Chain A
Amino acid sequence: MSNKGLFPTSLSKKYAMAATGLFLCLFLVGHLLGNLQLFIPGAEGKEAFNAYALFMTTFPLVKVLSYLTYFGILLHAVDGILLARANRAARPVRYAKENGAANAGWSSRNMALLGTIVLAFIAVHMQNFWYVMHFGEPGMYSLASGEEVKDLHQVVMDFFGPANSMAIAAVAFYLLAQAAIGFHLWHGFASAFQSFGLRSAKYTPWIERVGQAFSVLVPLAFAVIPVYLYISQH
Chain B
Amino acid sequence: MNLTLKIWRQNGPTDKGRMETYPVSGISEHMSFLEMMDVLNDQLVRDGKDPIAFDHDCREGICGMCSMFINGEAHGPGRGVTTCQLHMRSFKDGDTIYIEPWRAKAFPVIKDLVVDRSAFDRVIQAGGYVSVNTSGNTIDANAIPIPKPDADEAFNAATCIGCGACVATCKNASAMLFVSAKVSQLALLPQGQPERDIRVKRMVEQMDKEGFGNCTNTGACEVECPKGISLSNIARMNRDFLSASLKGE
A contact set with B: CB distance below 8 Å:
1-3, 9-15, 83, 86-87, 89-100, 102-105, 108-109, 111, 187, 191, 194-201
Known: A96-B19, A195-B238, A197-B239. A90 touches B104 (CB 8 A): yes
- Verify A91–B232 contact, CB threshold 8 A: no
Q: What is the bound-complex CA distance between A230 and B217, given in angstroms?
A: 38
- Verify B209–A9 contact, CB threshold 8 A: no
- Verify B242–A83 contact, CB threshold 8 A: no
Selecting from B33-41, B45-53, B83-91, B170-178, the interface stretch reads B170-178
B224 within 8 A of A: yes
CB distance from B117 to the nearest CB of A (A): 15
Q: What is the bound-complex CA distance between A195 and B237, given in angstroms?
A: 9
Q: Determine the chain A residues whose CB is within 8 A of the CB of B223 once the complex forms.
A: 102-104
Known: A12-B245, A102-B77. A90 touches B211 (CB 8 A): yes
CB distance from B212 to the nearest CB of A (A): 6
- Verify B231–A89 contact, CB threshold 8 A: no
- 20 example contacts (A-B, Cβ-Cβ < 8 A) are as follows A2-B208, A3-B208, A10-B174, A11-B242, A87-B216, A89-B213, A91-B173, A91-B213, A99-B73, A100-B72, A102-B73, A103-B223, A104-B220, A105-B219, A108-B217, A108-B219, A111-B216, A195-B215, A196-B239, A197-B235
Q: What is the bound-complex CA distance between A172 and B83, given in angstroms?
A: 47
- Verify A86–B218 contact, CB threshold 8 A: no
CB distance from B96 to the nearest CB of A (A): 10
Nearest-CB residue, chain B, relative to A199: B235
**Contacts A10-B214, A91-B171 supplied; 4 other A-B pairs, CB < 8 Å:** A87-B214, A90-B213, A95-B72, A108-B219
Q: Determine the chain A residues whose CB is within 8 A of the CB of B208 once the complex forms.
A: 1-3, 9-10
Q: What is the bound-complex CA distance between A83 and B214, given in angstroms?
A: 7
Q: Determine the chain B residues whose CB is within 8 A of the CB of A87 once the complex forms.
A: 171-174, 213-214, 216
Q: Determine the chain B residues whose CB is within 8 A of the CB of A90 once the complex forms.
A: 104-106, 172-174, 211-214
Which B2-26 residues have C-beta < 8 A from chain A? 6, 8, 17, 19
Q: What is the bound-complex CA distance between A9 and B210, given in angstroms?
A: 12
Q: What is the bound-complex CA distance between A105 and B71, given in angstroms?
A: 18
Q: What is the bound-complex CA distance between A179 and B233, given in angstroms?
A: 32
CB distance from B20 to the nearest CB of A (A): 11
- Verify A105–B218 contact, CB threshold 8 A: yes
Q: Determine the chain B residues whose CB is within 8 A of the CB of A104 once the complex forms.
A: 171, 218-220, 223
Q: What is the bound-complex CA distance between A100 and B17, given in angstroms?
A: 23
Q: Determine the chain B residues whose CB is within 8 A of the CB of A111 once the complex forms.
A: 216
Q: Determine the chain A residues whose CB is within 8 A of the CB of B213 once the complex forms.
A: 10, 86-87, 89-91
CB distance from B5 to the nearest CB of A (A): 12
CB distance from B215 to the nearest CB of A (A): 6
Contact code string B219-232 (vs A, CB < 8 Å = 1, else 0): 11001100000011
B120 within 8 A of A: no
Which B73-104 residues have C-beta < 8 A from chain A? 73, 77, 98, 100, 103-104
Q: Determine the chain B residues whose CB is within 8 A of the CB of A2 once the complex forms.
A: 208-211
Q: Determine the chain A residues whose CB is within 8 A of the CB of B216 once the complex forms.
A: 83, 87, 108, 111, 191
CB distance from B120 to the nearest CB of A (A): 15
Looking at the complex, which one of A9, A97, A187, A197 makes contact with B72 (CB distance below 8 Å)?
A97
- Verify A99–B240 contact, CB threshold 8 A: no
